[in-house]
Structure 1
Amino acid sequence: MRSRGAALVAAVSVGVVGAVAPAAAEPGAGSAFGASAKVSLLPGVLGDKGLTVDTGRLAPSSTAGPTEASLVDVPLAGLVRAKAVTSSATAAGGGVHSTASIVDVRLPVLAGLAGRTPTVRVISSKCTSGRNGVQGSATITDINLGSLGSLPLDGTPNQRLSVPGVLELIVNEQVKAADGTLTVTALRLKLLGGNSAGLGSGDIALASSTCGKALTTAPPTTTSPGTAPTTTVQPRPKPPGGRQVVEVPVGAPQTGGAGLR
């Protein structure tokens, strides 16, 4: 008979670690966030008992506002630490540009597997929608995963580094929804529930950007003979107050710290 903790881990493994559902966004809309984690950790990792962590999306932004967000000195529930997390999502000319970035990242959650705490200088993603469709990319700079090895960083989407049954790292994850929305997550860590290093099960997403398709322009207006047709495009309303920035101090609930530094 499985223990209560094992049952919890199995439930999270099925509900969280499966395929990532494609996000959807209205045409001309987009969003981004710096990091998120939803995991169930095995006993001995954080405290004597198993612990479920759900941080929500840190430093979220969207074209509906706030269009920019940032955090400093982020302790992501003892799983990830970063000096700065930023995101932005803006709409202009019917198109969208979304970005997310994390600077000076440490991954203590992987220290047991890697033989040291892995570090990354910059993790970032971006996407853009316009007349040529929706495009995205990710950048990972100065990454050291210790004994886990090396990630493929040639720019190809959805490349993986795996420890079977324990961990899967996906770099430049790109997922397109049926409506054409593109979500780019620079680095995703899937904890697969194996007992090695007591990682547990769940999902950690770092630097994620989403862009809906560009708005279509209105048809040409009727003109007199000999006059070049013109096209009228209704501007997308801006959020109240124009550019908006949200800054959350260290230790606030939004950082997922909650005493778990």
Structure 2
Amino acid sequence: MRVRMTGLAGLAALAALLAGATPASAAPGDASAYAAKLELSLLGGNAVSAGPFAAADANGPTTGTFAAVDVPGVLKTGVLDASATRDDKTGGVHSRAVTADVRLDLLAAVTGAITAKAVEARCDATQKGVAGGTKLVGLELGKLGTVDAEPAPNTVVDVDLAGVDIAKLVFNEQVRHEDGSLTVNAVHLTLIGGVLGALGSGDLVLSSARCGPAGLPIPMASGAGLWLGLGLLGLVAVPAGTVALFRRRAKA
């Protein structure tokens, strides 16, 4: 009887150890996305705070759709769409955001028309790592020139007025966080405030996707994961029972 009790005690102790050592972040990874967000303080004291539009999260709701955004003098869009999913079998996560029929009027007086048929950001996290990218369909930047349809990460275009920078556009902005996740912003406009700020200050983001890192490839609660967990417990518990049995025989 003593041998069985010792083996069970080893199982219980290891189970408690595993439970205590497995934080919430060890579950399959998280992912989220949204299609547009504005946080601006414009010249003259006008504040514009809107969004995130069409927000989605791997924990639900996994999809988001918004008919259109129309902020006079700032931004006008068509349909906005976002999604974020998780594969519990592989632990991988995926997020994507698309903003259609973009017309950015905020810089029009300086740069001319800035338009795009579609602006997309995507992010994928697997057991191999985390990666993302941007697609810009039919992008027109007016006086600012051109940017590739699939720009390199953190492609920066400065906007100046009379030789003074008043704004910055970043295409395919990629921000890696300390927790291993990645944020991809297809378009990130920053207004440079201060005395020379001709337009104001703040940020405007079009199509943002965040994901990763990937979670555990096999859930430990059921199926193959359950048998794997029990097998590991057994491997550790057997030596404890063996030692107890040896000691009892020695006494006999």
Q: TM-score, normalised by structure 1?
A: 0.68
Q: How does 1:138-177 map to 2 (within 5 A)?
A: 138-164=134-160, 165-177=165-177
CA shift in 2, pair 1:147/1:65, >3 Å: same
User: Which residue in 2 is equivalent to 1:95?
Assistant: 92
User: Which residue in 2 is equivalent to 1:125?
Assistant: 121
What is the letter of the counterpart of residue 232 of structure 1? Answer: G
Contact 2:133 2:150 in 1 (8 A): no
1:210 aligned onto 2:203: no
Query: What displacement does 1:33 show?
Result: 0.3
Structure 2 unpaired stretches of 5+: 1-24, 228-252
Deviations 1:56-75 (A, max 9, x none): 31111101111101111321
Query: What displacement does 1:100 show?
Result: 0.1
Q: C-alpha separation between the residues in 2 aligned to 1:202 and 1:41?
A: 8
User: Which residue in 1 is equivalent to 2:189?
Assistant: 189
Among residues 76, 79, 89, which one is paired with 1:81 in the alignment?
A: 76
The structure with the largest alpha-carbon Rg is 2
The alignment's C-alpha RMSD in Å is 2.7
Q: C-alpha separation between the residues in 2 aligned to 1:113 and 1:26?
A: 48
Q: C-alpha separation between the residues in 2 aligned to 1:146 and 1:25?
A: 47
Query: What displacement does 1:173 show?
Result: 0.4
Query: What displacement does 1:218 show?
Result: 5.5
Whose helix fraction is larger, Structure 1's or Structure 2's? Answer: 2
Query: What displacement does 1:54 show?
Result: 1.1
Query: What displacement does 1:200 show?
Result: 0.9
Deviations 1:25-47 (A, max 9, x none): 9851110000001011002xxxx
SS of corresponding position for 1:144: coil
SS of corresponding position for 1:34: strand
User: Which residue in 2 is equivalent to 1:68?
Assistant: 63
Q: List structure 1 segments (4+ residues) > 6 angstroms apart after TM superposition.
A: 194-197
SS of corresponding position for 1:112: helix
CA shift in 2, pair 1:74/1:138, >3 Å: same
Query: What displacement does 1:148 show?
Result: 2.2
Deviations 1:48-97 (A, max 9, x none): xx201111311111011111011113214641111110000011131111
- The more displaced of 120-129 and 153-162 is 153-162
1:232 aligned onto 2:232: no
SS of corresponding position for 1:147: helix
Structure 1 unpaired stretches of 5+: 1-23, 44-49, 221-229, 235-261
Contact 1:217 1:233 in 2 (8 A): no
- The more displaced of 140-149 and 34-43 is 140-149
Paired residue total: 195
Query: What displacement does 1:147 show?
Result: 1.3
